[in-house]
Structures are given as structure tokens and as C-alpha cells.
Structure 1
Amino acid sequence: MSRPPAVLGAVRERARGLLPRGLGYAVPAREREPDAVVRRRRQAVGVGCVAGAGMLGVSLSTEPGSRQFYGLTLATAATWSLGSLASGPLHQGWIEMQDGVRRRPVMVPVVTGVGAFGCFVAGALVARRVPVLDDAVRRVLRFAEEGSTPLVVLTTVANGAAEELFFRGALYDAVGERHPVLVSTLAYTATTAASRNPSLTLAGAVMGTLFGLQRRATGGIQAPLLTHLTWSALMLRYLPRLFRDRQRFRY
């Protein structure tokens, strides 16, 4: 017996209410900010980019697990955060579902972070077989494996949140309507390049693009921030184990 059309229609409507618009969606532009606000944002972003990139490069050149590493890493997070605060107010954003209803972005960004982690695990299985990438990833993972676990978690969370406040918040708003996703991603990638690590730079380019698209689709920083923290936490928890146990995957 076929289902009544009314029931099928209700099911479709319910499904639409559970699915967000895709990353190709762009929220309508807000009213243009006053010139004084725009100048302040751009000045704060310019100083923040230079200072933050320098702090990141120095922190990753220190000994993993050392006091200098933790101090400089937290100072880097503070630099991004101060730059975002100095630029002016930031927006949380909304996720618009396919039925037109708007919701605060929570579950969708978390699920996106889990999916991004899965993609990186697949990429890591390939990277382990490429000597240059394998060495680059291992150099990054040293900072996760050596030292105090609570401090590693603290610095990871602090920097993930601060980077979103700055790059998908202050910098994105400072760019305005002139390709903010592209510009914020290029700036984020250039900053991670200060680490002189190809795997970290590649990850910055890939995730920076995803975060930028989320920012455009939601109009705020909450979605990319939650995705970044979810992805970072999973990478911190499971990626070192994958490279540590590589022998068991060999044939």
C-alpha cells in the first residue's frame, strides 16, 4: 500500500528542517560599517598578522614540552585574541536550514569537524608512506606527545579559538566584500607557513578554506570555531597514535 501524499510531504518537510544549506550558500551582506570602524579593523588586523605569525614561528622553534614552548604558544593565542578584540565586535552567526528556519550553529559544525578529522586520517595513511610528509607530520606531533597533557590540551584549545576569532572574525570582516574567503585563507596559510613545516601549511590551507566557507555561509564565527575545536581535539587525541603505531599497518 502506497503512503498518502500528505504523509510523504510531511516527511520531506521534516527532512528539510534537519538539513542545513550547503557551504556554497552566502548570507546576505550586512550594512556597510562606518569608515572609522573599517580603518580600526584593518589596522588591528595588520598588526595582529605580523605579530601572530612571528610568535607562531618562534613558539614552534622551541623545545617541545618546555616552558618556553607553552609560554610562547599561549602568548600567540593572546596575540590573536587581542587583535580580534581591538578590531571591534564580532558576530556569532546563524545556520539557515533548507526550510528557511535559522538556528545557532552547534551540531552541524561539530559533525563537520568529525568529518574533517576522518578525511585527515585518510590523508595521514598516505602521508606515512611519503618520507618528506611523514617527517613533517612527526615533527608537529612531537609537540603533542612531549610534555604535560593538560597543557597541550590547553594550548591547542586556546590557539584554535583565538585563530578563529582573528582570521574568520576580525580579518574576514576587515576584508569586506572583496573575496573574504580567499583572502582570509591565504593569510591563514601564510601564517602557518611561518612554522616552516609543509604538513602544517597544507593543513592550514585545507582547513582555512573550510572555515572560511563556514564563515560565509553562517555570517559569524561560531560555526568555524566549533569545527576547529572539534577537529583539533580529535587530531590531538588520535593522530599521534596513528603514527606511533605505523608498524602494525605495514605488510
Structure 2
Amino acid sequence: MRGADRGGLSVTPALDFLLVGAGRSGTSLLTALLDQHSALTVGFEVGGTGGLRGRGIPERSGRVLQDRIEAFLHACSAAAAAAPTPRWGNKITTEQLAGLNRHNLHQALRGEPAEAILEAFFNRALARVPVIYLMRDGRACVDSKMRRAGQDLAQACDNWLYAVEVHDFLRGRDKTLFLRFEDLVANPRGELTRVLDFLGLTFESAQLSEQGTAHPSMPAAYRRAGIEADRAAAPAADHPALPRIGAALRRCGYLPADDDEKVFRQALDSPGRPL
């Protein structure tokens, strides 16, 4: 897909918006709550495994990126066409998105330059699609990945660090909204209202019903009888992931920043973005 833009793809994105996050717990909750809105249908990782991770398509050297993005978009188009509401969105995880990086393995083997994967996906293929990024404390994400997905500590840390890489990339993208899982469970109505404002919609009380938090499309392990605010509690101060992810936690605001990091974060937040 080198040099390609959306016009080089065989399908136009049918998504009204895309929700992205580091794992399934928080993104599933937000997806389920949004899906209760009368104007929205939201897919649970449609095309994430079969498309972005390439499980449902042949792997062709030199075309992995384009083939996987097109497979993802075809899956989204089919789901959007079948949706009973006027607007359709989808959610994926950053681990599924990482499946696109396999393209650069083939590029290296062919002696060709690496693609800017996130640029190709978000700024070319999905250039006009609003993106909602849900961040969560990496310590909680690492715990979940180890407990539910059977990942070891190093793998779980690396997967969360890639989620931070995606987050940092999206900071420079228009049409992108950022929120935190911890804020969502502590103030669900307020955070949902932020998302709906971003999408040009208004809050509906049905979104906070048990039909949302125990949505049948959610993996069973993530269903709840309601929103549990205590899930926003800070993880242990001596978490074993800290040596690996501590710097990223500080950069994302989950740990106190030292003076250099404060300057870095202030620069990122300034209008001129001097860095």
C-alpha cells in the first residue's frame, strides 16, 4: 500500500465512527452503552480478527497492509448495510490494529522501506472517519491481559505500550476524541455526553440501563449488572509492570510526572505544538 490513499482502496469506509482502545473490557463497555442509543448501532470488533489480523484472508507479500485494511472495510460495509439504525460505528482493540504491522515484516524481507502503518490506516484509509480513543491505566490493562488472555508480563506490557504509541499518534489527528476508562466508570453520564456531543447526538437515559452493561454482544467476562465505579481505583503502587511501563504511565498522567515530563506534556497540550 505504499503511497496509497483512500482512493487506492476498493471500498469506501462505511463507518460513522471508530472506537479504539487497549483492550476489550473498557472498549466493550463503551461500545455497549453507545449501542443503546436509538440512532446508533455499534459493532463489536467487526473485521478486527478476520481483517486487521488477517485470519480470514490469504497473506500476500507486498499487499498485506492493503489486503487487511480492505478486508476490514468490507466487513464494516456489510455490517453497516445490515444495521437497523441510520448510523453505524465499530470498535477495535489496538492489538487487532497491530496485525497491520505484519506488512513491514514482508517489506524488510523484500528489502523495501517500512510503511507508516498508523498513517496509512487512520489518515489515509479512514481520513474522514471520527475516532474515539479510550485510554486505561496500563497496570490494570496488563493485569487483565495476563488474567484473561494468558499473556506473560512482558507481552502484556508490550501490548499496552503499543496502545500508548497509537494514542500518541492520534494526538496529532483531527476528528479524534480522547477519554479515559477511569472517568467513564466514575462519571458515565458525563463521559457519554462528551462522546455523543462529538458525534452530534444527545444523551438518552436508556444508555445506562442494564441492557447496556450486560449487552449480549459483550464477552461474558465483561458483563455487569451495572457500572462499577470502583473499577477506577488505582492499581497497586508496587505493580510488577512499573519497571517496563512506568515512563509511559507518567507521560499519560497515571503517575506523577517529573520536571522533564511536565515540560513535554505541556508542550503537547499547547496550541502551537512546538515539539
Whether TM-score is above 0.5 comes out as no
Q: TM-score, normalised by structure 1?
A: 0.29
Higher RCO (C-alpha under 8 Å, 6+ residues apart) = 1
Q: TM-score, normalised by structure 2?
A: 0.27
Q: Which has the higher helix share?
A: 1
Q: Which has the higher strand share?
A: 2
